[in-house]
Amino acid sequence: MKGPSGQQGGNGAGIAGWFDGAAHRATAGLARHTSRRGFLGRLGAILVGAAAVPLLPVSRAFGAEEEGAEAPPPEPAADGIVEYGDPQSCEYWRYCALGGSLCSCCGGTMNSCPPGAEPSPITWVGTCRNPVDDKEYLISYNDCCGKAYCPRCSCHRTEGAKPSYFPSKSPNVLWCFGVESNAYHCTMAAVIGAAPEEAEATAQES
């Protein structure tokens, strides 16, 4: 992934590999630790979100033709988290540590590459706070490769917690390796887990 903000991440070939056996094993554990309080909070958020959505100012640039397309409904993600917002906008919460171009406005989604692009196996992982339940989630920024850069939706944010990367493996390197073509097209943003409450108690030093 490019950009000062990313974390390491990338991946996509992975995404299949990432989500398949493996990932779900790793993320399942995190999901288990999501508290009951969290669940109820989220349930509440569905309702609140449903009410709030029509009022949200959202980008109409890409979905205007379809009636009702202007407000994405609260979307339960892979692990059941609830959120709302416009995934085509750089302001969207999951992009807090992303540097690159948004696949969701380049013909793909937060979990899938645009047609003709291929996910790289290596990902950049960061954490972002979901405003709906105020919890920290792990976000995997997966690059889609093999097509020219999608210049439409550049987004560079640095507020997410991210592990520091090492000079030898700078986040500025393109993470499009392990795929057929190294061209960088755009970046996805998949939720791969939630932060367990214990994680903050023994926080990392930097």
Partner 1 sequence: MGSRLWPCTALALLATGALGEAASESPDAAVARYDYLLHCAGCHLADGSGAPPEVPPLRSMARLAAMPDGRDYLIRVPEVAQAPLRNARLANLLNWALQEFSRDASPAGFRPLSAKEVGDARRRILKDPLRARAEILKAAR
Contacts to ligand HEC by CB under 6 A: 8, 169
CA–CA separation, 186 and 195 (whole Å): 26
Q: Which does 30 bind (CB under 5 to 8 A by kind): partner 1, ligand HEC, none?
A: partner 1
Q: How many CB atoms lie within 10 A of CB 93?
A: 18
Site string for partner 1, 161-200 (x = CB under 8 A): --xx-x-xx-------xx-----------x-xx-xx-xx-
With CA atoms as reference, report the closest residue to 119 among 20, 47, 37, 21. Answer: 20
Q: Which one of ligand HEC, partner 1, none is in contact with 70 (Cβ closer than 5 to 8 A by kind)?
A: none
Report H helices in the chain. Answer: 13-17, 24-32, 36-52, 197-201
In the complex with ligand HEC, which residue's Cβ is closer, 110 or 122? Answer: 122
Taking the complex as a whole, how short is the minimal distance between the CB of residue 114 and partner 1, in angstroms?
Answer: 8
117 binds, among partner 1, ligand HEC, none (CB under 5 to 8 A by kind): partner 1
| Ramachandran angles phi, psi of 193, nearest 5° | 165, 175
Q: Is 99 helix (H, G, I), strand (E, B) or coil?
A: strand
Residues 63-92 that bind partner 1 (CB under 8 A): 78-80
| Touching partner 1, residues 47-66 (CB under 8 A) | none
Q: What is the rounded CA–CA span in Å between residue 59 and residue 76?
A: 20
Residues belonging to the active site: 124, 143
